[in-house]
Amino acid sequence: MLTSEPQPSGSGFRSLMKNRQFVILWAGQIVAQLADKSFLLLLITLVAAYRPPENIENVMRSSVMIANTLPAILLGSAAGIFVDRWSKKQILWSSNFIRGFITLLIPLLPKELSWFPLLLLVSGLESILTQFFAPAEQAAIPALVKPQNLMSANALFTTTMMGSFVVGFAVGAPLLSWSQTWGGLHGPEYLVGGSYILSALILCGLTIEEDKVDQTLALHPWADLKMGIQYLRKNRLISNAMIQLTVLYSVFAALLVLAIDLAKRVGFEEPSQFSFLLAAAGVGLFVGAAILGQWGERFHHLPLPLIGFMSMGLVLILFCLIEIQWLGKDLSIALSLSLSLFLGIGAAMVGVPMQTLIQVHTPPDMRGKVFGFQNNVVNIALIFPLAIAGILVDIFKLRRVLIAMGIAVIIAGVWTWRSTRKVLQDAI
């Protein structure tokens, strides 16, 4: 919790679900997250439509992903500046509407190799719009939810966001295949574009009370960006929470890469069955977030982030002890799924309170800048593990990588807690 006193009885999911404006925002997020993951899969599958030569097909797939990633690295912080200046409601619904419109234009693109740069442009434009949507969404939560309900609100949003990251790709693939049964060849584009527009229509129903910004004031992006960075440097509470969220997302990004080899190690026969491990982690994330959201006031005196990091690190190390040769296939799979469940619970103990802490302790006029910077840092943190995890496994083998990750997570948890223990104990 964020105070040293228990929450009033009006906290928890039941009270939160009575907040119509929050439910609208959450519903819009769910649809948009599903569209985001399906869009990335759609881009990868569309490469084949350009009939690329075998020697450059993988390069073309990579270029599509790079085009979708670069704006997240380059524009994440800058987009947050405009979130503080513009109406959050307008940013939320208009960014989704434009993303949907762009996606629905994809069937009109010429599918010749010389026109492939147009697909890269579509990929980049979608990512640019996402950089505005993400900080506006986070900044809207404390504007819609009472302080005593912020833990519950972030429990739901963290579950949706990280859950879609962990299991979204596994769900997106069958959805795209299903869309072709009713939409034909361009069914996937209709599904993804329609999902974005549906999210936009949902978010049109939002009512957000915001302090009006004097539009006559000159906009100085570079000065505003430096102001946001200076604020984070001075506020150890928020910067430390952001570091912990960065470590958390890095672990899950690495897990996406390691899950295939881990699934083989513990007894799953098909490479595609690695999604069961990710799904178990998603269930654990939901369970942990549900517990914190409903009964968080009972744990306000506990060092939740430290416990979460210790749990995650221990789980990663315990994965190395599962050997199908001496445990047997059934027991090995059962233990691995159980460990994945606890990994998700540990992640919730870090993600939910830290995100709530950032929202509570960030002034309204700084939320866009702070959440834009957070979005920027998290995106960079996701890319690094995705790029090197597979290489490290090839060099050092899975067992050593898991042990090293586990130790690193534990050290990160202890260090971040010790460095700001006094201020965090007063805030959580």
Read off the CATH number of the domain in which 304 is found.
1.20.1250.20
Kindly tell me if the per-residue pLDDT of 184 is higher than 70: yes
CB 203 within 8 A of CB 136: no
Residue 378 is which amino acid?
A: V
Between these two residues, 425 and 354, which has the higher pLDDT value?
354
Residue for token digits 């390069």?
59
Q: Would residue 4 count as lying in a domain?
A: no
109-118, 208-217, 281-290: least confident range: 208-217
Q: Would residue 290 count as lying in a domain?
A: yes
Between these two residues, 390 and 225, which has the higher pLDDT value?
390
DSSP secondary structure, 30-74, as one string: HHHHHHHHHHHHHHHHHGGGG---HHHHHHHHHHHHHHHHHHHHH
Q: Would residue 313 count as lying in a domain?
A: yes
Q: How far apart are CA 330 and CA 35, in angstroms?
A: 35
Paired tokens of 32: 């948009």
Kindly tell me if the per-residue pLDDT of 7 is higher than 50: no
Q: Which of 92-96, 126-130, 138-142 has the highest mean pLDDT?
A: 92-96
Domain count, the chain: 1
Q: Would residue 3 count as lying in a domain?
A: no
- Say what the pLDDT of residue 5 is: 39
Between these two residues, 306 and 236, which has the higher pLDDT value?
306
Between these two residues, 201 and 81, which has the higher pLDDT value?
201
Kindly tell me if the per-residue pLDDT of 390 is higher than 60: yes
Q: Would residue 68 count as lying in a domain?
A: yes
Q: Would residue 405 count as lying in a domain?
A: yes
Task: Please state the rounded mean pLDDT for residues 152-177.
Answer: 76
Q: 384 falls in which pLDDT band (50, 70, 90)?
A: confident
Measured over the CA atoms of residue 192, residue 194, residue 200 and residue 203, the dihedral's sign is negative
Task: Please state the rounded mean pLDDT for residues 204-217.
Answer: 70
- Say what the pLDDT of residue 243 is: 87
CB 208 within 8 A of CB 388: no
Between these two residues, 3 and 249, which has the higher pLDDT value?
249
Query: Using the 8-state DSSP alphabet, how is residue 362 labeled?
Result: S
Q: Would residue 40 count as lying in a domain?
A: yes
Task: Please state the rounded mean pLDDT for residues 397-407.
Answer: 91
**Which helix (H) or strand (E) element contains residue 418?**
helix 398-419
- Say what the pLDDT of residue 1 is: 41
Kindly tell me if the per-residue pLDDT of 142 is higher than 50: yes
Q: 199 falls in which pLDDT band (50, 70, 90)?
A: very high
186-190, 242-246, 276-280: least confident range: 276-280
Between these two residues, 301 and 336, which has the higher pLDDT value?
336
Kindly tell me if the per-residue pLDDT of 31 is higher than 60: yes
Q: How far apart are CA 242 and CA 400, in angstroms?
A: 28
Tally DSSP H helices, then E strands, for the chain. Answer: 17, 0
- Say what the pLDDT of residue 310 is: 94
Each residue of 62-77: pLDDT tens digit?
Answer: 788 788 878 877 777 7
Q: pTM value?
A: 0.78
Measured over the CA atoms of residue 89, residue 147, residue 415 and residue 281, the dihedral's sign is negative
Q: How far apart are CA 249 and CA 253, in angstroms?
A: 6
Nearest of 87, 95, 332 to residue 206 by alpha carbon: 87
User: Please, what's the b/e burial string for 300-334 (b: 16 or more CB within 10 A of its CB; e: otherwise)?
Assistant: beebbbbbbbbbbbbbbbbbbebebeebeeeebbe
Summary mean pLDDT of the chain: 82
% of the chain with per-residue pLDDT over 90? 21
Residue 216 is which amino acid?
A: T
- Say what the pLDDT of residue 309 is: 94
- Say what the pLDDT of residue 192 is: 93
Paired tokens of 157: 């949003």
- Say what the pLDDT of residue 9 is: 44
Kindly tell me if the per-residue pLDDT of 428 is higher than 60: no
CB 213 within 8 A of CB 84: yes
Task: Please state the rounded mean pLDDT for residues 352-372.
Answer: 84
Nearest of 190, 415, 175, 183 to residue 313 by alpha carbon: 415
Kindly tell me if the per-residue pLDDT of 2 is higher than 60: no
- Say what the pLDDT of residue 166 is: 64
The residue segments making up the domain with residue 264 are 13-208+221-427
Q: Which of 232-246, 255-269, 289-303, 336-350 has the highest mean pLDDT?
A: 336-350
Task: Please state the rounded mean pLDDT for residues 376-388.
Answer: 78
Q: 296 falls in which pLDDT band (50, 70, 90)?
A: low
Each residue of 41-59: pLDDT tens digit?
Answer: 888 888 888 888 777 777 7
- Say what the pLDDT of residue 311 is: 95
CB 135 within 8 A of CB 372: yes
Q: Would residue 225 count as lying in a domain?
A: yes
Longest Cα pair distance anywhere in the chain, in angstroms?
A: 72
- Say what the pLDDT of residue 228 is: 72
Q: How far apart are CA 399 and CA 264, in angstroms?
A: 13
Kindly tell me if the per-residue pLDDT of 133 is higher than 80: yes
Question: In whole angstroms, how far apart are CA 259 and each of 104, 159, 270, 326, 374?
Answer: 33, 20, 12, 21, 26
Task: Please state the rounded mean pLDDT for residues 285-295.
Answer: 83
